[in-house]
């Protein structure tokens, strides 16, 4: 069955007229949502801890800023954009005791609703607008008159206006310029976690690290190994982005294609391990492991962060990345974004 996709004419901004939208958090996604909605004519308030370093930065952008309880108490729509592990505490302590009857609750990822860490009462519409790109790109594309695609879902629709609110929000974000694909909280959560763990992060990152180690341990120069297993990856992914796997294949040499076809590195055993990881996502055991570790102060998470931040490939990576002229502009953008991100305090301090 073909996916249902909505575009610009399918959203009606008047649905949000006279309504106050509270954006909880001012990190990567939070700043983009707040600014895009504001520039679309929506009445926006940003909810932050009074001690958050993001307060002054949001005010500098011309946004109204209040504490999370105050913002929640006056909002007709509340978009929760704090990190997954903190959302349920913010909900229980600051939002749920203050929320207006019937106010809509929104998310950009289904984690807390799907796994039951947040359970709004039945009178609240619950929806999701999840951009398929980081916040700074969501903002940049909006400012350029374009948009980043989103996936959208409605979990609770007590009044029957859940989809109208969802599409109005997506339009205000600029997303309907690119398209909004209908999904469910279950589908978005489970596929998002699977993609992160088994392909985008847990797959590609470890594949690059292993390839680099195999070559260097066999006596090849680290610089040459880096070119072959890491540097060229971006070019291949860019080709995939332009024309799918087929373009990535036919853009390379016959030798490369033949090697691709006969490679046994990623095989049925890899698929079986992926299926196992998907099972842990589906039954909630991954979510429980992550939240339990966070509740304990994140000892395992911090240990793994430290372990994987010192990979051998990064001993040579910075020097080689500096050799490419096209990276210099991107590096400047990254530095600018890092500074911006520092001001808005992306992670634990978002709300």
Asked whether residue 253 is marked as a ligand-binding residue, the answer is yes
- 157 plus 23 within the same structural domain: yes
Residue 336 lies in a domain: no
DSSP string, 209-248: HHHHHHHHHTT--HHHHHIIIIIHHHHHHHHHHHHHHHHH
* CA dihedral for 17, 20, 26, 27, sign (positive or negative): negative
- 144 plus 256 within the same structural domain: no
Residue 188 lies in a domain: no
Q: How many domains does the chain have?
A: 2
- 162 plus 225 within the same structural domain: no
Bridge partners of residue 23, in order along the sequence: 46, 79
Confidence (pLDDT) at 329: 57
- 76 plus 46 within the same structural domain: yes
Residue 337 lies in a domain: no
CA neighbours closer than 13 Å in the CB half-sphere of residue 160: 0
Q: Which of 182, 206, 240 is the last residue of a domain?
A: 182
Asked whether residue 12 is marked as a ligand-binding residue, the answer is no
Asked whether residue 52 is marked as a ligand-binding residue, the answer is yes
Pair 191, 128: CB distance under 8 Å: no
Asked whether residue 28 is marked as a ligand-binding residue, the answer is yes
The domain that holds 25 is classified in CATH as 3.40.50.720
- 43 plus 173 within the same structural domain: yes
Catalytic residue among 109, 114, 124, 231: 109
Asked whether residue 72 is marked as a ligand-binding residue, the answer is no
- 163 plus 228 within the same structural domain: no
Confidence (pLDDT) at 346: 41
Residue 344 lies in a domain: no
Asked whether residue 49 is marked as a ligand-binding residue, the answer is yes
Which is nearest to 16 in space by CA: 129, 176, 165? 165
Confidence (pLDDT) at 326: 67
- Burial grade of 188 (CB within 10 A; 0-12, 13-18, 19 or more): buried
Per-residue pLDDT of the chain (351 residues; tens, 9 = 90+): 788 999 999 999 999 999 999 999 999 999 999 999 999 999 999 999 999 999 999 999 999 999 999 999 999 999 999 999 999 999 999 999 999 999 999 999 999 999 999 999 999 999 999 999 999 999 999 999 999 999 999 999 999 999 999 999 999 999 999 999 999 999 999 999 999 999 988 899 999 999 999 999 999 999 999 999 998 888 888 899 889 988 988 898 889 899 889 888 988 999 999 999 999 999 999 999 999 999 999 999 999 988 888 778 888 888 888 777 666 655 444 444 444 444 443 433 445
Q: Which of 182, 202, 219 is the last residue of a domain?
A: 182
Asked whether residue 76 is marked as a ligand-binding residue, the answer is no
Residue 198 lies in a domain: yes
- 169 plus 214 within the same structural domain: no
Confidence (pLDDT) at 234: 86
For the record, the structure tokens of 52 come out as 């958050």
Which is nearest to 182 in space by CA: 204, 163, 205, 207? 163
- 118 plus 236 within the same structural domain: no
Asked whether residue 192 is marked as a ligand-binding residue, the answer is yes
Residue 63 lies in a domain: yes
- 174 plus 274 within the same structural domain: no
Which is nearest to 87 in space by CA: 109, 63, 66, 60? 109
pTM, rounded to two decimals: 0.86
Residue 189 lies in a domain: no
Bridge partners of residue 43, in order along the sequence: 20
SS3 18: coil
Give the range of the structural domain holding residue 218, as residue numbers without chain letter: 194-328
- 30 plus 175 within the same structural domain: yes
- 16 plus 58 within the same structural domain: yes
* Residue 222, φ and ψ in degrees, nearest 5: -55, -35
- 14 plus 148 within the same structural domain: yes
Q: Is position 136 annotated as part of the catalytic site?
A: no
């Amino acid at each position: 069955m073909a996916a249902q996709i909505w575009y610009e004419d399918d959203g009606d901004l008047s649905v949000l007229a006279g309504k106050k939208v509270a954006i909880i958090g001012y990190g990567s996604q939070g700043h983009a949502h707040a600014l895009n909605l504001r520039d679309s004519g929506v009445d926006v308030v940003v909810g932050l801890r009074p001690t958050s370093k993001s307060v002054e930065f949001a005010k500098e952008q011309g946004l109204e800023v209040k504490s999370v309880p105050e913002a929640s108490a006056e909002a007709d729509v509340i978009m929760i954009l704090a990190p997954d592990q903190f959302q349920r505490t913010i909900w229980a302590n600051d939002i749920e005791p203050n929320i207006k009857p019937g106010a809509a609750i929104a998310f950009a990822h289904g984690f807390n609703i799907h796994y039951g860490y947040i359970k709004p009462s039945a009178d609240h519409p619950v929806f999701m607008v999840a951009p398929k790109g980081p916040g700074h790109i969501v903002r940049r594309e909006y400012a350029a008159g374009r948009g980043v695609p989103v996936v959208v879902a409605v979990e609770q629709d007590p009044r029957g206006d859940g989809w109208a609110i969802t599409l109005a929000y997506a339009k205000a974000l600029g997303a309907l310029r690119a398209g909004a694909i209908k999904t469910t909280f279950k589908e978005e959560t489970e596929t998002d976690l699977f993609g992160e763990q088994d392909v985008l992060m847990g797959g590609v990152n470890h594949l690059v690290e292993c390839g680099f180690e195999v070559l260097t341990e066999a006596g090849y120069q680290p610089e040459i190994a880096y070119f072959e297993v890491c540097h060229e990856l971006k070019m291949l992914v860019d080709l995939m982005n332009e024309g799918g796997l087929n373009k990535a294949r036919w853009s390379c040499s016959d030798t490369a294609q033949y090697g691709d076809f006969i490679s046994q590195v990623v095989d049925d055993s890899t698929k079986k391990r992926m299926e196992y990881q998907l099972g842990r996502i589906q039954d909630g055991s991954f979510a429980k492991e992550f939240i339990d570790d966070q509740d304990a102060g994140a000892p395992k998470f911090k240990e793994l962060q430290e372990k994987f931040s010192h990979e051998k490939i990064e001993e040579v990576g910075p020097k080689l990345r500096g050799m490419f002229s096209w990276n210099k502009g991107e590096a400047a953008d990254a530095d600018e974004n890092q500074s911006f991100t520092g001001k808005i305090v992306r992670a634990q301090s978002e709300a």
